[in-house]
Amino acid sequence: MHQRTTPPTGSASPTGRRRLARKALIAAASALGVATALMTPVRAGAAPAPAAPAAATPLAANGQLSVCGRQLCNASGQPVALNGMSTHGTQWYAQCVTGGSLDALAKDWRADVLRVSTYVQEDGYETDPAGFTARAQKFVDAAHARGMYAVIDWHMLDPGDPNANLSRAKTFFTAMAKKYKNHPGMLYEIANEPSGVSWSAVKSYAEKIIPVIRAEDPDAVVLVGTRAWSSFGVSEGANESEVVNNPVRASNIMYTFHFYAASHRDEYLKTLDRASDKLPVFVTEFGTQDYAGEGANDFTMSQRYLDLMKRKKISWTNWNYSDDHRSGAVFKTGTCDGSTWTGTGVLKEAGVWIRERIRQ
C-alpha cells in the first residue's frame, strides 16, 4: 500500500541436526555478552567491579520461533510479539543499511526484528538475481549478528499476481532457505502485497512456494501475503472470511496485514481485530501516513492499531528505515550519507514516534 513505483528523488535426523545447530547459534549469541564483560579492562589496584549481566538479545532470549495456535511463540512455547523496522527497497537505499544504522536499530531503538525488502521488479531482483540474493543475505546476516530476527521480504508489487514471479521466487527462496536452514532467526515473507488477483490464486502460489522452503528449512515460520495489498481483501471489497474459510494448506504459517493509518480507518482496524481472532497474523508493514507513505502523520489512529496489536501480541514492522524524502521514512533526508544514527536529532516526526514505541 506504500508508494510502489517511484524511485527515490535525487539518488541425529536432518531435522534434529538442524535444531541442534540452531541451539548452538543461540548459545553463541548469549555467550557473546559474557565474553564482552570478561574482556573489560580493570584499573591496576582497583577491585574488579561486578560485571552487570548482559541483556539477552531478542534472538538469544527467544530462540526458534513457531506458530502455536494463533500466536507467534518462542522456543519455550510462550507467545511473543516482535517489533521492528522494514528497510526500503535495497536497490535504492542500501546505503541506509550499515553497521552503524543496524547498531542503532538493535541497541538504541531496541528493535527485535529487521524486515529486508527485496523488490522483484522496479530495478530489483529480476535485474541481477545473484547480486540481490547476496545483498539480502548480507543484511540478514548483519541483523542476526546483532541479535535481531530477520524477515526476508519478497517484495512483489506489479504485477500483483505472485504467480507471475513463481520461477524467480523458487530460485530465491531455495537459496535463502539453504543458507539459513540451521539458523533460528529467519522468517520468510513469500509475497509482499498481492493485488488484482483472487485469494485462490494467492493460496495456490503459497502452496507451491512453502514446500520449496520446507525442503531446506522445515522449522522456520512462513508469512503469507493476503490479497488486496495484504489487507485480507478489504481494499478490493472483500474481508478475512475468504482466508478463514479457505486457509493455506500448510503448518507453521502466519498471514500478513498492512495498513497506513491516515488512509485505512475503522474498517481496516476491525478487520485486523476479527482476523486475528481466527488466524495467526503478522503486520509486516504499516505507516502513520497515507497509503503512499506520504502526507501528515495520524498518530492517534496509529496508536489505536498499536494498542490492538499489543493487546493481542501481534508482531509488526514499520515502513521504513531509510531517508527517503517521504514522511514515512524515519530518517531526515541526507542522514544515510553521514555516520550519525542514534538519538532523535536525525529523525523525522514519524521516526521519533515509532522509535519511542519500539523502545517501550
- DSSP 3-state assignment of 280? coil
Question: Sign of torsion, CA 158 160 163 169?
Answer: positive
Active-site choice (122, 189, 240, 285):
285
Number of H helices, E strands in the chain: 11, 10
Active-site choice (122, 189, 193, 240):
193
Active site residue 349: no
Percent helix, strand and coil across the chain, each to the nearest 5: 40, 15, 45
d(CA 207, CA 225): 12
Instruction: Report in angstroms the alpha-carbon separations of 197 from 63, 158, 174, 177.
Output: 36, 11, 25, 27
Closest to 161 measured CA to CA, from 189, 193, 129: 193
Q: Contact at 8 Å (CB) between 257 and 226?
A: yes
- For 7-18, letters b (16+ CB in 10 Å) and e give ebeeeeeeeeeb
User: Nine-digit cell at 354?
Assistant: 515509532
Active site residue 285: yes
Angle at which helices 199-216 and 166-180 pack, to 10 degrees? 30
Give me the DSSP letters along 161-213.
-GGGGHHHHHHHHHHHHHHHTT-TTEEEE--S---SS-HHHHHHHHHHHHHHH
- For 272-303, letters b (16+ CB in 10 Å) and e give bbebbeebbbbbbbbbbbbbbbbbebbbebbe
d(CA 158, CA 329): 22
Q: Contact at 8 Å (CB) between 89 and 176?
A: no
DSSP 105: I
Q: Contact at 8 Å (CB) between 194 and 160?
A: yes
User: Which residues are marked as active site?
Assistant: 193, 285
